[in-house]
Amino acid sequence: MAMPAGEIEALIKAAFPDAKIHIEDLAGDNDHYAATVVSEAFRGVPRVRQHQMVYAALQGRMGAELHALALQTSAPE
């Protein structure tokens, strides 16, 4: 199954309303993405935990509808 980039962005935005999000479809198949998420919610949070927070926002779709997501997360500068 594939997952449109807009759906990924909407799920992340729902969890992090202030986030600046950029999503790139790496293979053109709606199944392999790279995402950059910048949110104040990540300030002072270890990188691994930031990624876990984004995966939680995807509500279990990682590994099901969404096969691969390369993440870059950070707090705003």
Return the H-helix or E-strand segment holding 73.
strand 68-74
Which is more confident, 2 or 43? 43
Return the H-helix or E-strand segment holding 7.
helix 5-15
pTM for the whole structure = 0.91
Cβ atoms 40, 18 nearer than 8 A: yes
- CA–CA separation, 6 and 50 (whole Å): 21
Domain locations in the chain as residue ranges: 5-74
Statement: 5-74 belongs to CATH 3.90.1200.10: no
Residues contacting 6, CB < 8 A, separation 6+? none
pLDDT in tens, 11-58: 999 999 999 999 999 988 888 899 999 999 999 999 999 999 999 999
pLDDT of residue 31: 83
* Beta-carbon count within 10 A of 19 CB: 21
